[in-house]
Amino acid sequence: MKKLMAMVMMMSALVFFCGCGEKEAMSRTNFTDAVMGQTKAQVVGSFGKPSRTSGSPELELWTYENKTKDSVTGKVGNASVYFSKGVVVKVLYF
């Protein structure tokens, strides 16, 4: 019984402290500042792999879901990151 209680307490602490791996959404302004002019490798290093990708080699679109927050409404939303020649040139939010 003692071992079971210790295991339950350890698992509860793990879930509490790890937060299931989710990071809090950042403001749209901070996200834009963080990615503009960055390479694909730099963006992946900072935010991980995108949820979706599309486009062409000339203009590629990466979508990050639930990574940003509207500072006025507080609503968490998605970001579309546009790459031209491998560098971020535009960010749109939805």
Residue range 80-90, pLDDT digits in tens:
999 999 999 99
The domain total for the chain is 1
Evaluate whether residue 41 is within a structural domain.
yes
- Residue 22 pLDDT: 56
Evaluate whether residue 64 is within a structural domain.
yes
Evaluate whether residue 52 is within a structural domain.
yes
Evaluate whether residue 34 is within a structural domain.
yes
Query: Which pTM value belongs to this model?
Result: 0.74
Evaluate whether residue 53 is within a structural domain.
yes
Evaluate whether residue 16 is within a structural domain.
no
Is 94 strand, coil or helix? Answer: coil
Distance CA 82, CA 36 (A): 9
Residue range 63-85, pLDDT digits in tens:
999 999 999 999 999 999 999 99
Region of 36 (left: φ > 0; alpha: ψ -120 to 50; beta: rest) is: beta
Q: Which two tokens stand for residue 78?
A: 């998605």
Evaluate whether residue 1 is within a structural domain.
no
Residue 44, domain extent? 23-93
Residue range 9-62, pLDDT digits in tens:
444 433 333 445 557 899 999 999 999 999 999 999 999 999 999 999 899 999
Contact criterion met (CB below 8 Å) for 76 and 25:
yes
Q: What is the CATH number of the domain that holds 75?
A: 3.30.1450.10
